[in-house]
Amino acid sequence: MGIRTILDANFDFEIVDEFLDHYSMMVESMEVMILDLNKPNGYSRSVDELFRVFHNIKSASSYLQMLPMSRLSAFVEDALEELRTTDKLVNDDIITWLLAVSDMFAQWQDDLRFDRDLTHIKYSLLQKPELTK
């Protein structure tokens, strides 16, 4: 019994289906927003949008009791909040880390799609690099 079966058994189909639709859109947009953090003219918009994406995933995954997803989202949301309060651009380490985080969320999207257990979080994702240059 995978994650999708568990969600369908414990929550209304419409709630699960709506989450999956929104989650898919958010995961698909993460990489572009992360790469835009390197662009001075797109930085502010991208960091704010990424913050919103991770906040939404955190809230929805918490409600749906997907704790690994909720916890990683909260961790990333905290890092993005730090980035929102600085004028400095991010360094390559944070871009690499955020891309790896994006890959983790894409893996979870596959886990949901193919009704597998949620893949364990890679330990390296829990080690946040220095946030700015």
Give the pLDDT of residue 78.
95
Burial 79-106 (b: 16+ CB within 10 A, else e): bbeebeeeeebbbeebbebbeebbebbe
DSSP assignment of 10-61: HS-HHHHHHHHHHHHHHHHHHHHHHHGGGSTTTHHHHHHHHHHHHHHHHHHH
Predicted local confidence at residue 40, as pLDDT: 85
Q: Is the pLDDT of residue 44 over 70?
A: yes
Mean pLDDT of the chain: 93
Enter the pTM of the model.
0.93
Token pair recorded at residue 96? 């690499």
State pLDDT tens for residues 68-81: 999 999 999 999 99
The pLDDT, as a whole number, for residue 80 is: 94
- What radius of gyration do the chain's Cα atoms show? 15
pLDDT tens-digit readout, 2-41: 999 999 999 999 999 999 999 999 999 999 999 999 888 8
3-state secondary structure of 106: helix
Domain ranges of the chain: 3-126
pLDDT at site 128:
87
Cα 74 to Cα 103: distance, rounded to the nearest angstrom: 16
What CATH class has 3-126? mainly alpha
pLDDT at 133: 55
Which among 97, 92, 55 is positioned nearest to 74, based on CA atoms? 55
